[in-house]
Amino acid sequence: MTGPTIDRYIGLSERAVHDDSALEELLTLFAPDAIVRIGPESVRDCAAIAAFSRAHFATFADSRHDWNTTVLEDGTLRAAWAAASRMADGQLMTVAGVEHAQLGGNGLIADLRDELTRLPG
pLDDT tens sequence across 71-97:
999 999 999 999 999 999 999 999 999
Cα 11–15–17 angle (5° rounding)? 125
Domain count of the fold of the chain: 1
Cβ neighbors of 112 (< 8 A, separation 6 or more) are: 9, 30, 34, 35, 36, 37, 38, 99, 100, 101, 102
For residue 10, the domain's CATH number is 3.10.450.50
- Provide the residue range defining the domain that includes 113: 5-118
Provide the pLDDT confidence category of residue 39 given band limits of 50, 70 and 90: confident
